[in-house]
């Protein structure tokens, strides 16, 4: 037999073998109870996975995965085309999955942390003094020294607390070592930083209490409550908008 004849015979045997394989694959899909269109989709998907270089093990897993999804979809009259598009495109998608969208980066910018803390402190103090005015009217009655109940004092204490604890949160976070690994700060270091921050803030709180009433007015109790609620709302918006992670008011997210 000539070389050309042998090549033709080999080509025919290969075609016959492929045909038998395709028939066997088609029968396998029929046994699952797929609709005719879904059977055809699976048949074409099987071919595309081979053509696009899927290993036998990976192809088997992807076929089973798709089959399960189709069987579930058939219960609500969904078709393979409607669920996955064309076999060619879906095979490529299975073999080259898009990277998951990275989680939104946590915002640990020191100014954002300071603003977050300041708003929260402002809300806490204004609501606290507003409630105090409701429960003990004489405590904030006109004529006395306004002290820390004055609006200016509240603002200064809130801003100072925001800045101090914003810095504090940055200082006690784990640091990156020379190998790029996160290393926890020592307990003694964290304790010392927290104590220093608290002492400084208490000092600011004490000094603002000495301010004269003329520059440190006390507002109506309802105004205090409204300002406090506005502060809380503003802080929630700030956290949501800029994805602020703050261990002082709310736990940090755990990383997997």
Q: Which of 18-27, 36-45, 68-77, 243-252 has the lowest mean pLDDT?
A: 18-27
Q: By residue range, what is the domain housing residue 213? A: 110-242
Residue 23 has pLDDT above 70, yes or no: no
Give the per-residue pLDDT at 217. 93
Answer yes or no: are the C-beta atoms of 245 and 106 closer than 8 Å: yes
User: What percent of the chain has pLDDT above 90?
Assistant: 32
**Three-state DSSP class for residue 55:** coil
Domain final residue pick, 71, 95, 119: 95
Out of 17-21, 44-48, 156-160, 190-194, give the one with best mean pLDDT.
156-160
Query: Would you say residue 188 lies in a domain?
Result: yes
Give the per-residue pLDDT at 54. 85
Q: What are the tens digits of pLDDT across the range 84-108? A: 889 898 988 888 877 544 444 555 6
Domain final residue pick, 95, 124, 150: 95
139 and 91 co-located in one domain = no
200 and 142 co-located in one domain = yes
Q: Which of 40, 94, 36, 31 is nearest to 62 (CA)?
A: 94
85 and 134 co-located in one domain = no
Q: What are the tens digits of pLDDT across the range 51-62? A: 888 888 888 888
Query: Would you say residue 102 lies in a domain?
Result: no
CA distance 183 to 176: 6
Give the per-residue pLDDT at 43. 81
Q: Which of 49, 39, 57 is nearest to 90 (CA)?
A: 49
Work out how many domains the chain is built from and give that number: 2
Q: Which of 98, 94, 100 is nearest to 64 (CA)?
A: 94
Q: Average pLDDT in the 63-73 region?
A: 84
């Amino acid at each position: 037999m000539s070389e050309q004849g042998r090549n033709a015979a080999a080509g025919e045997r290969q075609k016959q073998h492929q045909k038998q394989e395709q028939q066997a694959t088609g029968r396998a899909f029929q046994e699952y109870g797929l609709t005719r269109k879904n059977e055809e989709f699976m048949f074409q998907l099987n071919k595309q996975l081979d053509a696009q270089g899927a290993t036998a093990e990976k192809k088997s897993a992807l076929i089973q995965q798709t089959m399960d999804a189709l069987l579930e979809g058939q219960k609500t009259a969904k078709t393979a085309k409607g669920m996955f598009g064309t076999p060619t495109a879906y095979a490529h998608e299975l073999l080259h999955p898009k990277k998951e969208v990275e989680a939104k980066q946590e915002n640990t910018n020191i100014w954002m942390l300071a603003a977050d803390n300041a708003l929260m402190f402002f809300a806490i103090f204004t609501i606290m003094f507003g409630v105090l005015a409701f429960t003990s009217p004489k405590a904030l009655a006109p004529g006395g020294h306004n002290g820390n109940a004055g609006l200016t004092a509240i603002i200064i204490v809130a801003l100072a607390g925001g800045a101090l604890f914003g810095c504090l949160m940055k200082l006690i976070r784990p640091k990156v070592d020379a190998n790029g690994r996160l290393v926890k700060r020592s307990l003694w270091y964290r304790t010392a930083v927290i104590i220093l921050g608290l002492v400084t803030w208490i000092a600011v709180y004490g000094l603002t209490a000495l301010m004269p009433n003329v520059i440190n007015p006390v507002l109506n109790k309802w105004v205090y409550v409204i300002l406090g609620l506005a502060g809380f709302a503003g802080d929630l918006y700030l956290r949501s908008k800029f994805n602020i992670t703050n261990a002082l008011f709310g736990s940090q997210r755990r990383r997997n």
